């Protein structure tokens, strides 16, 4: 039996308007090499100037994960050659990062929580992007100099499941803090996995392989599962020392395999030394105090939702998994929807209708409309079954809830006189069954309800039907 040892390095792109050491825009999708200047192009004589907003966002993250935020931190040069690194080195932090010794907690399948240590989180600049066209390679330096917060976990993770849970929690935290849009498709939240195995009970750390630049939870899980199996098979076959070497591997999303890319450098090979063009970062007391003013985070919001709204823990975990979903839910409550129905109609009905690129952020049915549907169920205007038809219609048409109810003819009949007339007719037409009911066959009550609902074509209010039918049968 083997134990898996995983440590994760996450690069979260900070959502500042400008780059970390210059005033070039950080906007995504612009024409190649248009958001560049002498500083991010690494031209001789150009000097970097630190972006204060990037520092503030790093401080907020530090406090959010119960970490030490260092009053003094230092930038270093990390030297390596790569085509998309215009200076031939990257400005990063090495000996003294801005954030150190943090933690976060993940939910395990058995309902317990596990602590995952965060070794450090440091500021650095991003590289550019290589674009390959057949036999040609092009370099786009728009991304060069974009501020990154690299978040390094302790090797506390023991499975693909735990890795994904940790990443989802981290993703949620940076979104709640609004320090990164964490868009995985655009590469603003990407992950490197460091993975090794060892016999169960062994405390030694064996050779680790690094899987680089993973940017979807699904592929992170698949990459880890494949790499675990690869290393276990090598150990059992007696080829571990030849097959498992310190290297960087890439994950092929088509074959779902990891493949060797290049040998992995040790920190000494990067020849770190203090960045001579930047002074040490000394945080003022005001900046440190300001950084403590962080919004309500997922765990706190989850606990509040359970206590304040009386919802189940499982539902609270789903609703608080993203800041947009949490805000959507609370907006529904403010609009007058009940928490109990709000949970079901948000997590089951609305989310269940999302297809393709549709998400809570761009949902055609907003919180106000969904709350209106719930209120119409609660006040008896429509049945829960009819409400589903209304929601389906609203997913395709931009109209108000009451307008959709009228258009679809789904308004429930709650008028006592109209319903009594239907009941009397049905009871007159089924006198034999009325006698059977009165002699003890109470199951026939369901038959009468069904007949009334059929006569009303589903428009009669079931609650009113039940009440009036009981009175008539007495």
pLDDT in tens, 219-254: 999 999 999 999 999 998 889 888 888 889 999 989
What are the beta bridge partners of residue 192? Answer: 9
Give mean pLDDT, residues 88-109. 95
Question: What is the pLDDT, as a whole number, of residue 385?
Answer: 85
Instruction: Work out the mean pLDDT of the chain and round it to a whole number.
Output: 91
Q: Which of 299, 216, 285, 289 is nearest to 253 (CA)?
A: 216
Query: Would you say residue 409 has pLDDT above 90?
Result: no
Query: Would you say residue 466 has pLDDT above 80?
Result: no
How many whole angstroms separate alpha carbon 378 and alpha carbon 389?
A: 16
Give mean pLDDT, residues 141-170. 96
Residues 279, 230 share a domain: yes
Residues 456, 347 share a domain: no
Residues 302, 183 share a domain: no
Range of the domain at 174: 2-290
Per-residue pLDDT reduced to its tens digit, 337-391:
999 999 999 999 999 999 988 899 999 999 999 999 999 998 888 888 889 999 9
Residues 361, 259 share a domain: no
Residues 224, 105 share a domain: yes
Question: What is the pLDDT, as a whole number, of residue 99?
Answer: 98
Which of 256, 290, 324 corresponds to the end of one domain? 290
Residues 325, 202 share a domain: no
Two structure tokens written together for 277: 């063009």
Question: What is the pLDDT, as a whole number, of residue 192?
Answer: 94
Rg (CA), the chain: 30
Residues 142, 121 share a domain: yes
Stated pTM of the model: 0.85
The crossing angle, in degrees rounded to 10, of helices 323-334 and 160-177 is 60
Which of 290, 317, 347 corresponds to the end of one domain? 290
Query: Would you say residue 438 has pLDDT above 80?
Result: no
- Please report, for the domain that includes residue 438, its CATH number: 1.10.10.410
Percent of the chain with pLDDT over 90: 68
Give mean pLDDT, residues 397-408. 92
Question: What is the pLDDT, as a whole number, of residue 435?
Answer: 75
Which of 354, 385, 408 corresponds to the end of one domain? 408
Residues 282, 305 share a domain: no
How many whole angstroms separate alpha carbon 387 and alpha carbon 345?
A: 10
Question: What is the pLDDT, as a whole number, of residue 264?
Answer: 63
Question: What is the pLDDT, as a whole number, of residue 111?
Answer: 84
Going by pLDDT thresholds of 50, 70 and 90, the confidence category of residue 265 is low
Question: What is the pLDDT, as a whole number, of residue 53?
Answer: 97
Per-residue pLDDT reduced to its tens digit, 299-324:
999 999 999 999 999 999 999 999 99
Going by pLDDT thresholds of 50, 70 and 90, the confidence category of residue 80 is confident
Residues 14, 132 share a domain: yes
Query: Would you say residue 434 has pLDDT above 90?
Result: no
Going by pLDDT thresholds of 50, 70 and 90, the confidence category of residue 425 is confident
Distances from the Cα of 105 to the Cα of 162, 163, 166, 177, 429, angstroms: 10, 12, 8, 17, 65
Residues 420, 386 share a domain: no
Going by pLDDT thresholds of 50, 70 and 90, the confidence category of residue 268 is low
Burial class (CB in 10 A: 0-12, 13-18, 19+), 366: middle
Residues 125, 149 share a domain: yes
Residues 421, 376 share a domain: no
Number of compact structural domains in the chain? 3
């Amino acid at each position: 039996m083997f134990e898996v040892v995983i440590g994760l390095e996450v690069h979260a792109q900070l959502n500042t308007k400008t780059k970390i050491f210059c005033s070039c825009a950080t906007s995504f999708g612009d024409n190649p090499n248009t958001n560049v200047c002498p500083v991010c192009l690494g031209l001789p004589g150009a000097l970097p100037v630190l972006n204060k907003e990037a520092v503030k966002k790093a401080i907020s993250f530090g406090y959010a994960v119960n970490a030490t935020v260092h009053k003094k931190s230092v930038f270093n040069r990390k030297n390596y050659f790569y085509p998309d690194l215009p200076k031939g080195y990257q400005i990063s932090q090495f000996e003294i990062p801005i954030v150190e010794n943090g933690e976060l907690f993940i939910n395990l399948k058995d309902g317990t929580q596990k602590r995952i240590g965060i070794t450090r989180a440091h500021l650095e600049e991003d590289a550019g992007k290589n674009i390959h066209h057949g036999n040609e390679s092009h370099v786009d330096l728009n991304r060069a100099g974009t501020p990154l917060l690299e978040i390094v976990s302790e090797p506390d993770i023991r499975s693909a499941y735990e890795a994904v849970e940790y990443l989802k929690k981290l993703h949620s935290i940076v979104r709640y803090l609004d320090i990164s849009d964490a868009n995985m498709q655009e590469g603003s939240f990407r992950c490197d996995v460091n993975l090794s195995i060892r016999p169960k009970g062994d405390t030694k750390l064996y050779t680790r392989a690094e899987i680089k630049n993973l940017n979807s939870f699904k592929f992170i899980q698949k990459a880890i599962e494949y790499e675990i199996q690869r290393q276990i098979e090598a150990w059992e076959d007696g080829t571990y020392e030849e097959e498992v070497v310190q290297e960087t591997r890439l994950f092929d999303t088509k074959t779902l395999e990891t493949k060797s890319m290049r040998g992995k450098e040790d920190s000494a090979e990067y020849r770190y030394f203090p960045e001579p063009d930047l002074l040490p970062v000394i945080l003022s007391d005001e900046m440190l105090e300001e950084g403590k003013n962080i919004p309500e985070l997922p765990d706190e919001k989850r606990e509040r939702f359970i206590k304040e709204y009386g919802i189940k823990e499982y539902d609270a975990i789903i609703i608080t998994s993203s800041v947009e979903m949490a805000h959507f839910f609370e907006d529904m409550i403010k609009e007058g929807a009940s928490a109990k129905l709000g949970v079901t109609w948000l997590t089951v009905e609305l989310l269940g209708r999302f297809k393709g690129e549709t998400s809570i952020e761009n949902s055609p049915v907003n919180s106000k409309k969904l709350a209106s549907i719930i209120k119409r169920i609660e006040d008896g205007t429509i049945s829960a079954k009819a409400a589903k038809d209304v929601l389906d219609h609203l997913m395709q048409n931009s109209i108000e809830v009451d307008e959709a109810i009228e258009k679809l003819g789904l308004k429930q009949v709650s008028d006592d006189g109209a319903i009594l007339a239907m009941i009397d007719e049905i009871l007159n037409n089924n006198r034999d069954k009325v006698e059977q009911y009165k002699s003890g066959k109470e199951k026939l009550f369901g038959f009468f309800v069904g007949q009334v609902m059929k006569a009303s074509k589903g428009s009669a209010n079931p609650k009113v039907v039940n009440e009036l039918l009981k009175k008539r049968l007495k």
